[in-house]
């Protein structure tokens, strides 16, 4: 798995903050894309994948702490 975001080094709080920031960025990009097409629409897919990676790391940490 390609994990170039450095998620394993972040604390739980930082991880949640990063997730919230990524989700807000995705919403903004979707709105901008609806108004005028983005120069690179693949950025939407990349943002969704980053959110999924962060959610995966959060769930792995929850499972390992049990």
Return the axis-axis angle of helices 42-65 and 12-35, rounded to nearest 10°.
Answer: 160
Task: Write down the pTM of the prediction.
Answer: 0.87
Q: What is the pLDDT along the chain (66 residues), one digit of tens a residue?
A: 455 678 888 899 999 999 999 999 999 999 999 999 999 999 999 999 999 999 999 999 999 887
Q: Cα(51)–Cα(61) distance, rounded to whole angstroms?
A: 16
Check if the beta carbon of residue 50 is closer than 8 Å to that of residue 7. no
> What is residue 3's predicted lDDT score, i.e. its pLDDT?
57
Q: Where are the domains of the chain?
A: 13-65
Own/partner long-range contacts of 56-63 (Cβ < 8 Å, ≥24 apart): 57/7, 57/8, 57/15, 58/12, 58/15, 58/16, 58/19, 61/12, 61/15
The CATH code belonging to domain 13-65 is 1.10.287
């Amino acid at each position: 798995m390609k994990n170039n975001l450095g998620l394993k080094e972040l604390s739980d709080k930082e991880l949640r903050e990063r997730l919230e920031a990524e989700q807000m960025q995705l919403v903004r990009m979707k709105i901008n894309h609806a108004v005028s097409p983005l120069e690179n629409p693949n950025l939407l897919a990349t943002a969704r994948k980053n959110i999924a990676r962060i959610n995966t790391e959060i769930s792995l940490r929850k499972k390992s702490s049990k």
